[in-house]
Structures are given as C-alpha cells and as structure tokens.
Chains A and B, each alone.
Chain A
Amino acid sequence: MIEIAGVWKEFAKGERRVLALQDIDLQVAPQEFAAILGPSGCGKSTLLNMVAGFDHPTRGTVRAGGEAILEPSPKRAVVFQEPALFPWYSVMENVVFGPKTQGQPAAEYRARAAQIIEQVGLKGFEASYPAELSGGMRQRVGIARVLIMQPEILLMDEPFGSLDAQTRSLMQELLLQVWERHHQTVLFVTHDIEEALLLADRVCVMTARPGRIKKSIQVRIPRPRAIEVTTSPEFNDLRREVLALIREESQRAATEAA
C-alpha cells in the first residue's frame, strides 16, 4: 500500500524556486498495478523518487505499508530508466547484490538467482559483464536484481524508455508474466500511453508542471493480458480518452514555455 497525501515539491533553481509537484494525493492498493502518465518534465519521476526514499516532499506525507518513508529500502525496489548496473560486476554478481548485501545465506539466494535469471531469459550469461550485453538484456538484469529481493513494492521509472520498439514490447510481456506470478504493488512511471494501458490496472494522468493528478482512469481489460489487447476496440477507446488528456497538457506546456 502506497499513500501519497497532500504532497508538494519545490526545487531551488539558482535564485528561482520551481514548483514541481502541487498537492498530489494518490493511493496505490496492495497488489495494484498503477501507472503514472504525463508529459516530460511534469514531475512524475520526482514523485517516484519520493516513494523510493531518494527524495523528500517539501510538504505532505508519503507512506508505504503505513510507515513514513525516510530512506531507500529493499522493500521498495526500483528499476531505473538506465539499467544502472555495476559495470565491475558480472550478471550474477549484479543479481545477488541485494541479498548478499543484506547478509542472507548464500546457498539460498544462489538458488533463487539461478531461477530468476532463467525466468528473465538470461541463462548462459551469468558470467558476462554489463558491457557485453545489449540494452534489453541489461534491463533484464535490472529487473532480475530487484525480483530476487522479493519486494512488496516495485517502483519503475520509465524502465523501457531507452529500448527499441521490439525489445520494449518483449520486456512489457516479461513484466506482465512476472507480475501475474507475484502481484507486487507496482508504481510505473511512463510517457507512453500504450505501455501504461497495457500494463496497469489504473492510469493516473498528470498535468504539465507544476504536476498535479489530472485524472485517474481504471483499465478494465481482463488479465492475463498479452500484447494483442492493444488492438482491441476497448483499448482504442481508452487510448483516445488518454491521448486527449495528454495532448491538452503537452500543448499547455508548449505554449507556456514559449
């Protein structure tokens, strides 16, 4: 359970103060897959960083599992846009970094690592270094290293944003499979409408800066979902609705910038 209540965030930009987030209220229920969708610069990553514990609100509260968030925790695992792997560690060493750091017994996490590496399709690459992998494979490692920690909450900050279209849809299917199996509480930040609708139970559309929640839309497409649902009429209706909301905001951002 993630509870964001009355959150404001201000940044100091030299002399100026910039309001990034304005009065955000958002709750993500246990086992819910929520997507935050918004134009670039709307503060959606800032919001996710506060749930992760990397950043703190200027006003308001962010809680997870009933507790105020003070610092990062393995309970709230993060998948970043850049895979952010340790280049000096092999795939296996990257994947076991969490449990090893937390002092779990090696025998247990080794077995789990082998299983997860197979699940994300990296079997045979355990000894490879990140530099030897493609972008998609690196992000698979980024996902594997958080799955092994069995987090209650999964925070994803445009995790497939830098991948090519084919790889991206493969990764989305992988994520759907993983989520079907474990049903973590997910907060997924993206600017890709289709991605948000395909993956999430609920899509929260944000306004341009200062970011507010403009509208929250339930996605009642039955699960398990596969990439094919993106061609259904139901999906198209949702896409049209969200697109209109997003276009309004993008235009507003563009005219205000000019």
Chain B
Amino acid sequence: MRRRLSVPWFILLPAGLVLLWHAAVTEHWVTEGIIPAPAQVLKSWHTWIFGSGATMLSPYSGTWLDNVAYSGQRVLQGFALAALAAIPLGLMIGWNRLAARLIDPTVQLLRPVPITAWLPFAIAVFGIYDASALFLIGLGAFYPIVVNTTHGVRDTNLLLLRAARMMGAGPGTVLAKVVFPSALPSIFTGLRLGVGVAWTAVIVAEMIAVKSGLGYVLWDAYYVGRMDICVATMFSVGLLGFVSDRVIVWASRLLLRWRTLEAHV
C-alpha cells in the first residue's frame, strides 16, 4: 500500500480556528478586552507555567504545575475509588440475578441525578475539603463504569460459559476466567467514559467545594477578569483529559491484545 501521510491534514482545522480567533480579536469583531488574543493566552500560559513564583502583581506566575498536581491527584484518587467500587459491583449485577434485583434499580434511580446537583449535599456533608471533591469525582466516574461492566458481563457468550462448565469450571473459575476477560473490553469503555466525567467533576468541585486546583484557578481568574488564564486553564484541562484517555487506551491495547488480532483478521 502506498503511504500518503505527507500532509498532516488533522492540523488544518485547528489552525484555521486559531486564525479565526486571532482575526476576531485583532479586527475587533468582538468587544475589546473580553476575549484575549491567542498570542496573549500563550504568553500568560507560559508565565503561569514557567514564572518565577506568585507575587502581588502576578498571582499566577509559576503555579501551573502545582494546580495540575492538585487536580490530577484528585482525579486519580476519585477515579480509582470509582473503579474499585464499580467493577466488582458491575460484575455482581451482571452475573447474579439477586444482586441485580437488589442493587440495579437503586443505581438506575440515582444515576440521572447530575453530579452538579450533588454539590450542596457534598459540601454540607464533607465540608470544603478534598473529601467533597473525591465524593463528586468518584460518584461521577462510578456510573459509566458500573453500567458498562454490567453490560459486558451480560454480553458474555453463552457457549463460552457452557464450554467452561463442561470442562469442570465452578462459578468462581467461570467468573474469573471467562466472564471477566469477556467483559474487559466493555469495562475499558466504562473507564474511558468515567475518566472523562472525572475531569468534569474535578473542575466543578474545585470551582466551589475546594480552594485549589485548575477548577479553582478557572473561577478565580474569571472573578478578577483574567480571561487569558481562563482560556489557558480550559486548554490545560482538555490536554490532561486527552492524556488520561490515551493512557487508558494504551493499557487496554496491552491487556486486550487478543482483541486487536480479531480486528485485523
């Protein structure tokens, strides 16, 4: 097959959008002073990352990495908690009819409550601490993981279950050696969706329930009229969300090698 990847087409649309943005600011299509130009955002972002430290005049200088660490850690912890609870629970709901009857209706009833609606509750119960943020992130990431795990378990091929039982496998072996690997692709879909929700939740939580992290900076910068920092924060969150998604995809490729073989045959 001929390679024709010489033109990086994917760059065209983002480049065009940035140009449009630049023109909108310099040509005064938008009200002056509200939207910063791309160059201004880039410059502020640079100072935010590499600045020599926060002062009265530039309170954001050099604080980017700390805030990324705060938010990243919360996402990691909340997401891990969610996965640890949701995967076993999803396996139970999908596998056991009694567990499904006991747990699934409650999950489905609570799931439509948006995590933003949980905010006052979380603050009232956990206060303006990390626990509030972890609760919201964990809860947000929990639903897609539990739903997809359940779905994956229920999708297990009946013949594979019969084959395993015919070869002497008891319920534990069937669950570990057949149901779990069979549900794994679906579980990874849940994890990908879950990590996306986790980043949404961390920003919401930090805007209101805690006083650090990218969400806090976003809201704080908005209040003091630093739209350049707001936009830089948006890009930062987007980038981190993208990276965490790629990490999960990479892990799934590693664990689901048999599946990539199937796709190519």
Task: Decide if B49 is an interface residue (CB 8 Å cutoff).
Answer: no
Query: Do A72 and B166 touch (CB < 8 A)?
Result: yes
What are the residues of chain A within 8 A of B184 when measuring CB–CB?
Answer: 88
Query: Do B262 and A87 touch (CB < 8 A)?
Result: yes
* Interface residues on chain B, size class: 20 to 34
Which of B6-14, B125-133, B154-162 is near enough to bind chain A?
Answer: B154-162
Distance between Cα atoms of A89 and B262 in the complex (Å): 13
Query: Do B166 and A76 touch (CB < 8 A)?
Result: yes
Query: Do B163 and A78 touch (CB < 8 A)?
Result: yes
Query: Do B178 and A102 touch (CB < 8 A)?
Result: no
Distance between Cα atoms of A71 and B162 in the complex (Å): 10
What are the residues of chain B within 8 A of A72 when measuring CB–CB?
Answer: 162, 165-166
Which chain A residues in 86-104 approach chain B with CB under 8 Å?
Answer: 86-89, 97-98, 101-102
Q: How many A-B residue pairs have CB under 8 A?
A: 76
Query: Do B258 and A102 touch (CB < 8 A)?
Result: no
Query: Do A52 and B166 touch (CB < 8 A)?
Result: yes
Distance between Cα atoms of A131 and B265 in the complex (Å): 7
Residue of B nearest to A89 (CB): B258
Which of A71, A85, A86, A130 contacts B165 (CB under 8 A)?
Answer: A71
Task: Decide if B169 is an interface residue (CB 8 Å cutoff).
Answer: yes
Query: Do A132 and B265 touch (CB < 8 A)?
Result: yes
Which of B181, B256, B259, B261 contacts A86 (CB under 8 A)?
Answer: B181
Task: Decide if A235 is an interface residue (CB 8 Å cutoff).
Answer: no
Given A84-B159, A129-B261: A101 touches B166 (CB 8 Å cut-off): no
Which of A54, A80, A129, A145 contacts B167 (CB under 8 A)?
Answer: A145
Query: Do B181 and A80 touch (CB < 8 A)?
Result: no
Residue of B nearest to A97 (CB): B167
What are the residues of chain A within 8 A of B168 when measuring CB–CB?
Answer: 73-74, 98, 101-102, 149
Query: Do A80 and B162 touch (CB < 8 A)?
Result: yes
Task: Decide if A77 is an interface residue (CB 8 Å cutoff).
Answer: yes
Query: Do A86 and B166 touch (CB < 8 A)?
Result: no
What are the residues of chain A within 8 A of B182 when measuring CB–CB?
Answer: 88
Task: Decide if A173 is an interface residue (CB 8 Å cutoff).
Answer: no
Residue of A nearest to B261 (CB): A131
Query: Do A132 and B261 touch (CB < 8 A)?
Result: yes
Task: Decide if A194 is an interface residue (CB 8 Å cutoff).
Answer: no
Residue of A nearest to B259 (CB): A87
What are the residues of chain B within 8 A of A82 when measuring CB–CB?
Answer: 159
B105 to chain A, nearest CB (A): 25
Residue of A nearest to B260 (CB): A131
Residue of A nearest to B180 (CB): A88
Query: Do A86 and B169 touch (CB < 8 A)?
Result: no
Given A87-B258, A132-B265: A101 touches B169 (CB 8 Å cut-off): yes
Residue of B nearest to A102 (CB): B168
Task: Decide if B96 is an interface residue (CB 8 Å cutoff).
Answer: no
**Which among B165, B173, B184, B265 has the greatest number of chain A C-beta atoms within 10 A?**
B165
Binary A-proximity of B103-126 (CB < 8 A = 1, otherwise 0) = 000000000000000000000000
Task: Decide if B164 is an interface residue (CB 8 Å cutoff).
Answer: yes
What are the residues of chain A within 8 A of B163 when measuring CB–CB?
Answer: 78, 80, 84-86
Residue of B nearest to A54 (CB): B162
Distance between Cα atoms of A200 and B216 in the complex (Å): 77
Residue of B nearest to A52 (CB): B166
**Which among B159, B168, B178, B184 has the greatest number of chain A C-beta atoms within 10 A?**
B168
Query: Do B181 and A98 touch (CB < 8 A)?
Result: no
B164 to chain A, nearest CB (A): 7
Binary B-proximity of A121-150 (CB < 8 A = 1, otherwise 0) = 000000001111000000000000110010
**Beyond A88-B182, A97-B169, A97-B177: 8 further Cβ-contacts under 8 Å?**
A52-B166, A53-B165, A54-B162, A84-B162, A86-B164, A87-B258, A101-B177, A149-B167
Top 9 nearest A-B pairs by Cβ distance?
A98-B167, A84-B159, A131-B262, A131-B261, A72-B165, A72-B166, A74-B168, A88-B181, A102-B168
Interface set of B (CB-CB < 8 Å, partner A): 157, 159-160, 162-169, 173, 177-178, 181-182, 184, 256-259, 261-262, 265
Interface set of A (CB-CB < 8 Å, partner B): 52-54, 71-74, 76-78, 80, 82, 84-89, 97-98, 101-102, 129-132, 145-146, 149
Q: List 8 A-B contacts (CB under 8 A).
A: A71-B165, A72-B162, A77-B167, A78-B163, A86-B163, A86-B164, A87-B258, A98-B167
